[in-house]
Amino acid sequence: MAASQSGPTGQRREGFFTRGLVIALIALVPVLAIAWPVLSSFSVSNDEAMPMMHEVKRGEFIHEITDSGNVESASNVDIRCEVKSKGSAGTVILEVVPEGTYVKPGDTLVKFDSSALEIEQIQQQIICANSEADVIQARNVLESAEIALQEYLEGQYLLDLQAIQSRIILAKEDQRRAQQYYEYSKMLARKGYITEVQLEADKFAVDKADMELSSAETERKVLEQFTKEKMTKQLEADVKTAEAKFKAIEDSHKLDVERLEEIKTQIANCTLVSEETGQVVYANVDGGRGRQEIIIEEGATVREGQTVIRLPDPKRMQVVAKINESRVSLVDEGMPATIRLDAFPDVELDGVVEKVNDYPAPTSWYSANIKENETTVRIQEPPPGMRPGLTAEVKIEVERLTDVVQVPVQTALEHGDKYYCVAHDGDRFVPLEVQIGSTNDKFVVIEKGLEPGQLIAANATALRDKIELPDLPPEEANRNGRPRPSQKPDGAADQGEQPAPGKSNPGAAASKMFQQLDTNGDGRLESSEIPEKMAPHLKSADTNGDGAVDRGEFAAAAARMVRQQGGGGSPGGPAP
């Protein structure tokens, strides 16, 4: 056995172990280089080190909700398409003024395709000409019927009546003469001068004259009582018929003319002009997944009534931000706000909350679980050059307290339904029960339990195992999601685990370093918790892009650096 260890195989094993150890130490160099600025701020022994302390102070407490939004005008002049679609998809844009152009009243903004309307106009003009001819003809018929009625009543009827009356006069005269002659004949017959036959002839002449007079009088009666009424009714009916036809044709012609005027109006509507002075903003609509986007451009089709261009009022600007449902209950109308534009980061604007929607805004399918309420913040004095569409950061002041005791949130420890801060008394740590008030996620107001000038631990969670706290029922022990002392967080390396012989344990070192950096104990490293020398590494380590580095991302970043220093997994390098 001794000989085998001193042989070539034993020497190779000893050399391989030495090379592996050297490579592992080299791999830990970047990890130690990153950790050294932090570790140097702590004592050599974690068990005996004095934790960072925070002095309790009194001052002004401000609770602000920060969110982003888009700038828009509170008063827009909407330029809409008024060309009727007529069952088609819409009207095609031929020309549109470039977005951002400053226009004045009367300037042309958009031209739509009017070729189909111009053809329809020519066809309608022909229809109007034909209907106008029909109107003229119907008017002539009506006037002729009216003249016929007047002609009969004032002409033909009077002529017929006069002719009959003339016959009556003649018949009466003939009757009188025949009667006188008959009376004379009767006297002569009595004297024997004429025969009976002659007397009968004279009697027959009298009867004939009576019949002629009776016939004339009957004819007058028929004319006045029947013929006149019949002809009047017939002629009046002709007038009314002609009048109705004339009105119908005339109304039809009016409809044709109105249709022609409507076509002319539609052709005029194919050119949109500015009504006010302003800067052109396209009324584009960004559609979510599965929805069609509306883009205003040449060749695009727009429907009747669709807004094509907006002319915002630069003197009335506002920001529409979306506040998460967990914080929207804190926001109310009239609250002051400050606004910073991404385009002008050095300019801070004053604003005021004007409206908070009662219901969440519509969301897309991939963010259906996120509920946000639109909140409108009016900008008090918009600066020159502000235009809709700019991105803005809005800070809404939901609460302001003056002269109150406040401490960082990580100095307060939640235990059951009570809160504690940790103070140092001689050689031990003691919990101080406190009553907390408002919080802004960075500081918490202490209503009772602390006084200005007191020193408390900066990270109370890290000292949970070193202080005596009241016992809690088992079901409440982990209600805040904190691991028990006997438990290890998911993905965390065992602090007491020792590396295998010949191998370093960068995972344990990274876990220990993460615990020391995580001052608030929330399992995430934010920019405020990372030393300045390590700040450049935050972005590359933040693989999920949430603005913080969790324990798994931190360990993965350390492992990547170890692999890079170890030659990308060459033989003898440390395990990832």
DSSP track, 85-129: -TTSS-EEEEEEPPTT-EE-TT-EEEEE--HHHHHHHHHHHHHHH
CA distances, 195 to each of 51, 185, 190, 191, 208 (Å): 177, 9, 9, 10, 20
| C-alpha torsion sign, points 503, 507, 510, 516 | negative
* CATH ID of 397-460+467-472, from 3.30.1010.10, 2.40.420.20, 3.40.309.10, 1.10.10.1100: 2.40.420.20
Q: Name residue 278's beta-bridge partners.
A: 103
Please check whether residue 398 is in contact with residue 65, taking contact to mean a CB–CB distance below 8 angstroms.
yes
In this prediction, residue 358 carries a pLDDT of 82
In whole angstroms, give the CA distance from residue 428 to residue 463.
11
Q: CA-to-CA distance for 112 and 300, rounded, in angstroms?
A: 10
- The answer to whether domain 27-52+461-466+492-576 and domain 397-460+467-472 are alike in fold is no
Q: What residue type is 178 in one-letter code?
A: A
Separation of alpha carbons 413 and 522, rounded Å: 12
What's this model's pTM, rounded to 2 decimal places?
0.48
CB within 8 A of 489, min separation 6: which ones? 483, 523, 551
Phi (first) and psi of residue 99, to 5 degrees? -65, 140
The residue with tokens 């407490």 is 61
Residue-wise burial string across 376-414, b where 16 or more C-beta atoms lie within 10 A, e elsewhere: bbbbeebeeebbbebebbbbbebbeeeeebbbbbbbbbe
Residue with tokens 């409206």: 355
pLDDT at 386: 77
The DSSP symbol for 458 reads S
Domain ranges in the chain are 27-52+461-466+492-576, 67-114+279-396, 116-247, 397-460+467-472
Selected from 3.40.50.920, 3.90.600.10, 2.40.30.170, 3.40.50.620, the CATH number assigned to the domain covering 67-114+279-396 reads 2.40.30.170
If you ran DSSP here, which 8-state letter would residue 528 be given?
G
Q: Which of 67, 95, 42 is nearest to 271 (CA)?
A: 95
In the numeric block, the tokens 């009367």 are attached to 106
**Contact status, residue 423 vs residue 451, Cβ threshold 8 Å:** no
Q: What is the pLDDT of residue 357?
A: 87
Helix-strand-coil split of the chain, %, nearest 5: 45, 25, 35
- Side-chain-facing half-sphere of 101: CA atoms under 13 Å: 14
Q: Identify the sign of the CA torsion 245, 251, 252, 257.
A: positive
Structure tokens at 493: 């390396």
Nearest to 375 by CA among 61, 66, 127, 165: 66
Residue reference for tokens 């001193």:
6
Amino acid identity, residue 169? I
3-state secondary structure of 83: coil
Mean pLDDT by 10 residues, the chain (576 residues): 38 37 41 42 46 90 88 83 81 90 90 91 94 94 92 89 90 88 86 84 88 90 90 92 94 94 93 86 69 79 89 83 83 90 86 87 64 87 80 90 92 90 89 91 91 92 87 62 39 40 52 73 75 66 74 74 49 34
The answer to whether 53 and 457 have CB atoms below 8 angstroms apart is yes
pLDDT the model gives residue 509? 66
153: left (phi over 0), alpha (psi -120 to 50) or beta: alpha
* Count of other CB atoms within 10 angstroms of residue 221: 12
Say how far apart CA 548 and CA 550 lie, in whole Å.
7
Q: Name every residue whose Cβ is closer than 8 Å to that of residue 482 and which is 6 or more positions away in sequence.
A: 461, 464, 521
Q: At what angle do helices 551-565 and 8-39 cross, to 10 degrees?
A: 130
Other CB atoms within 10 A of residue 339 CB: 25
Q: What is the CATH number of domain 27-52+461-466+492-576?
A: 1.10.238
DSSP E strands, 239-329? 271-273, 278-279, 281-282, 301-302, 307-312, 317-324
Q: How far apart are alpha carbons 112 and 118 in whole angstroms?
A: 12
